[in-house]
Structure 1
């Protein structure tokens, strides 16, 4: 859910414009970047005790993970696609645990997994 401020609307328009012209590789990087940004927001919301906003950010992260997972070609992607599927599932379970317990400890694990994945995607582009 996007806030109704002008800045948020501008950011949303910028992301949509970048996504419209991005190749699949760039889209994955954009999604991972969005997930990493939301992880930081979750931590901030937990620190501030804003559980409603935390829940919204967790939902965004789960949606991003779901999008990344559904884009996998498990039939033709071989072991790499299967491993990515397991990683996305693991991250989703970690986020669920963070949300239920309101404990940010699991965020570090998800952040590390997704940061490592991002580095791999960037290396493939180079």
Structure 2
């Protein structure tokens, strides 16, 4: 199918050639995209679409929780925040709450922005080492 759909081929290639850090960034962006979709669906009173979008965001948060490197000291704090985000998503789904979605989005945005900075720092170090060789 991706041969007939250039966008699907591009997305598939982007995932297959990304570093683990870039994949994590994609997960954060995906969660935020689905949270936004859920907010729109609540506004439009489209309960089915809201439910689907929130479930997709929850699946991403669950994946982030499962793949978290627990050997890193900050991991336990991150796990607590991921769990909190997941609970906000559940409550948002039950109560059709845009406020709870916004709270989840705020935390995920902070994670995403911090992760983006980490990637940029890593790239600068990588390119600095290449220049020295």
Q: Specify the alignment match of 2:68 in structure 1.
A: 72
Select the residue among 41, 45, 49 that pairs with 2:45: 49
Backbone CA RMSD of aligned residues: 1.4
Separation in 2, partners of 1:92, 1:36: 13
Is the aligned partner of 1:87 residue 2:81?
yes
Q: Secondary structure at the match of 2:18?
A: coil
> Structure 1 pair 45/120, CA: closer, same or farther in 2 (3 Å)?
same
TM-score normalised according to structure 2 size: 0.81
Separation in 2, partners of 1:85, 1:30: 18
Select the residue among 100, 105, 116 that pairs with 1:106: 100
Unpaired runs of 5+ residues, structure 1, are 1-8
The structure whose Rg is larger is: 2
Count of matched residue pairs: 116
Shift of 1:17: 2.0
Q: Secondary structure at the match of 2:53?
A: helix
TM-score normalised according to structure 1 size: 0.86
